[in-house]
Amino acid sequence: MDYTQTNPIPMPPGGAFSSVRGTLETVFDWQYELRKKNLLSLYEKGKTLAWNASDVDWSIDVDIERLAHSRVQNGLGKIMNDVLQPPVKLGDEELMKMQLHTNAFMLSQFLHGEQGALLATAKIVQNVPWEEAKFYAANQVSDEARHVEVYHRYLTEKLGLSYEVHPSLGRLLDDIILDPRWDVTFLGMQILVEGLALAAFGVLRMQMADEPLIQDIVGRVMADESRHVGFGVIALENIYRHGMSAAELREREDFIISATELLRERLLVTPVFERLGWDADVWTRWSIDTPFMRGFRQMTFSKIVPNLKRLGLLTPRVRDAYEKLDLLKYEHMKDSVEEPEAPPPHELVELLMQFIQSSATEGAAAAS
């Protein structure tokens, strides 16, 4: 695919390339038993539903500044200042900048996460012991290459604004790639990173309802991601409930708790405040404390929690950590086998409906 990178992605402090040296056991499966039928049917689905990045209508013009401006005119400013109560009241210009940069930051982290998924899944092809999981992972590798392709093109050709990888996301991706245990790669990538991405993509689609190109891209990527998360759940089913020692299980609990911390940090948009020249400490503190942002960070775990529960990983230690983060409210939601897609959490829909209603009331008051 040929496209113009009008604005290349900025480099992280370490430069254009970084490498991690882990030990990887590559496993051949000479029996080709293909026992897990549900995994094979997911593999068939993956092949049938593959799409091409060139199928996307790249001729759609994306005037993101115009969209941001019209949202401000339609009441977003009042919502931001009255409901979210930022440390400093934001004028129209700052509201525009905040939207443009937050959006570019989120999409950039999606791009970097997709590269992580590409590499982690290539690793799974090598070290997962069963042939049918190797098949599926191979199919996922090509999905992830496409995801990197579409997000990169959108950011560099259409948006013209982007961010380097968030240090916490970079660290988590390193941890996942470095870990020699195949189940931890699945746990880190398919259950945690992709589970969070699935929920965050849904939020982005709602926020960008007025931009048809990103709607199409994210819709395509989400359909793939829901299969990937399902792949993780099916592959890990029964692994933790049977045949793992208490010490091994404790290591997985430690991994989940530390990865959860990194995922939550990755959602903080501190780099945006720094680039805008705003007081990053004050603004980060606000985004940690303000109920809407706190709610947003919690919602991104709405698929992760039921999936961990299904796998038997909502153990007392993990429950304790999740209780403190107020994440256990999602434990009764449907997991990725019961419900492969990730509908936006109802709290978010409710909140956005309130916003829409309040701006409609504003508009009616202004017109009368």
Among 228, 266, 309, 310, binds Fe ion (CB under 5 A): 228
Among 36, 101, 147, 252, binds Fe ion (CB under 5 A): 147
Q: First CA to last CA across the chain, in angstroms?
A: 52
DSSP H or E segment with residue 30: none
Distance CA 74, CA 252 (A): 47
Local structure of 48: helix, strand or coil: helix
User: Of the ranges 3-11, 186-194, 254-262, 324-332, which one interacts with Fe ion (CB under 5 A)?
Assistant: 186-194
User: Of the ranges 32-40, 69-77, 146-154, 237-245, which one interacts with Fe ion (CB under 5 A)?
Assistant: 146-154
- By CB under 5 A, is residue 227 in contact with Fe ion? no
User: Of the ranges 43-51, 187-195, 346-354, 355-363, which one interacts with Fe ion (CB under 5 A)?
Assistant: 187-195
Distance CA 315, CA 56 (A): 43
User: Of the ranges 19-27, 142-150, 167-175, 280-288, which one interacts with Fe ion (CB under 5 A)?
Assistant: 142-150
- Of 344-363, binders to Fe ion (CB under 5 A) are none
- By CB under 5 A, is residue 117 in contact with Fe ion? yes
Q: Report, in Å, the least distance between residue 45 CB and Fe ion.
A: 14
Q: Report, in Å, the least distance between residue 144 CB and Fe ion.
A: 5
Angle at 237 between CA 235 and CA 238, to 5 degrees: 130
Shorter beta-carbon distance to Fe ion: residue 112 or 319: 112
- By CB under 5 A, is residue 114 in contact with Fe ion? yes
- By CB under 5 A, is residue 149 in contact with Fe ion? no
- Interhelix angle 92-127/131-153, nearest 10 degrees: 150
Shorter beta-carbon distance to Fe ion: residue 225 or 335: 225
For residue 249, give the nearest of 300, 183, 199, 161 by alpha carbon.
Answer: 183
For residue 310 the two structure tokens come to 């299904």
User: Of the ranges 175-183, 218-226, 262-270, 327-335, which one interacts with Fe ion (CB under 5 A)?
Assistant: 218-226
Q: Report, in Å, the least distance between residue 225 CB and Fe ion.
A: 5
**CB of 114 closer than 8 Å to CB of 148:** yes
For residue 333 the two structure tokens come to 């939601």
As a three-state string, the secondary structure of 316-357 is HHHHHHHHHCCCHHHCCCCCCCCCCCCCCCHHHHHHHHHHHH
Looking up tokens 């080709």 gives 32
Distance CA 266, CA 105 (A): 11
User: Of the ranges 58-66, 222-230, 270-278, 329-337, which one interacts with Fe ion (CB under 5 A)?
Assistant: 222-230
What is the full DSSP assignment across 224-257? HHHHHHHHHHHHHTTTTTSS--HHHHHHHHHHHH
Shorter beta-carbon distance to Fe ion: residue 98 or 177: 177
For residue 266, give the nearest of 191, 164, 359 by alpha carbon.
Answer: 164
Q: Report, in Å, the least distance between residue 245 CB and Fe ion.
A: 30
- By CB under 5 A, is residue 146 in contact with Fe ion? no
Q: Report, in Å, the least distance between residue 339 CB and Fe ion.
A: 17
Distance CA 61, CA 339 (A): 34
User: Of the ranges 35-43, 75-83, 141-149, 258-266, which one interacts with Fe ion (CB under 5 A)?
Assistant: 141-149
Q: Report, in Å, the least distance between residue 140 CB and Fe ion.
A: 6
Site string for Fe ion, 65-104 (x = CB under 5 A): ----------------------------------------
Q: Report, in Å, the least distance between residue 123 CB and Fe ion.
A: 14
Per CB under 5 A, residues contacting Fe ion are 114, 117, 144, 147, 194, 225, 228
